[in-house]
């Protein structure tokens, strides 16, 4: 069993968990805000859930993401070099964080627009990172003659 943990792997996992927690809790808080109109006992619950769970999860995602970026740069990996996906993600994530910080007050006032926009930005950001290949320019794609095939494809017939 290999128990060798690298900082980049742990930070990437923490970053993803924080993002998933924030995005899931944002959807829950948005749904809760819809029930607050008809029930007095639920009034303010969406704003509280947002302030306690969503905002902190997104804050932690930014912290873990920044630490991950530092570790990757120290290892010689530069996510800014390959395509535009990381730059787009960074811009969307900073906008998402800013909106997320303003959302509890809006939810407390009964306004759901910023919460909905945060959920849409969350979905857009995750789409961009999952589909990074869509944001690579043609000049960054290697021609077929330079692509190294996987090891299984290069193995020749085995002698018995």
DSSP letter string, the chain:
------HHHHHHHHHHHHHHHHHHHHHHHHHHHHHTTT-GGGTTHHHHHIIIIIHHHHHHHHHHHHHHHHHHHHTT--TTTS-SHHHHHHHHHHHHHHHHHHHHHHHHTT--HHHHHHHHHHHHHHHHHHTGGGG--GGGSPPGGGPPPPHHHH--PPP-
Percent of the chain at pLDDT > 90 equals 46
Q: Which domains does the chain have, with CATH numbers?
A: 7-134 (1.20.120)
Q: What is the pLDDT of residue 51?
A: 92
| pLDDT at 28 exceeding the cut of 90 | yes
Q: What is the pLDDT of residue 140?
A: 57
Q: How confident is the model at residue 133 (pLDDT cuts 50, 70, 90)?
A: confident
pTM: 0.77
Q: What is the pLDDT of residue 56?
A: 96
Q: What is the pLDDT of residue 157?
A: 58
Q: How confident is the model at residue 78 (pLDDT cuts 50, 70, 90)?
A: confident
Residue-averaged pLDDT of the chain: 83
């Amino acid at each position: 069993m290999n128990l060798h943990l690298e900082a980049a792997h742990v930070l990437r996992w923490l970053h993803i968990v924080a993002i998933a927690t924030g995005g899931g809790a944002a959807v829950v808080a948005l749904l809760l805000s819809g029930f607050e109109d008809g029930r007095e006992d639920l009034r303010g619950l969406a704003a509280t859930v947002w302030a306690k769970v969503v905002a902190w999860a997104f804050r932690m995602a930014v912290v873990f993401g920044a630490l991950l970026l530092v570790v990757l740069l120290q290892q010689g990996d530069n996510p800014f070099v390959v395509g535009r996906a990381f730059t787009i993600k960074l811009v969307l994530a900073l906008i998402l964080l800013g909106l997320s910080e303003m959302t509890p007050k809006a939810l407390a006032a009964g306004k759901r627009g910023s919460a909905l926009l945060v959920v849409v930005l969350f979905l857009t950001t995750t789409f961009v990172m999952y589909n990074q290949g869509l944001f690579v320019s043609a000049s960054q794609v290697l021609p077929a003659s330079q692509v190294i095939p996987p090891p299984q494809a290069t193995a020749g017939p085995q002698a018995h």
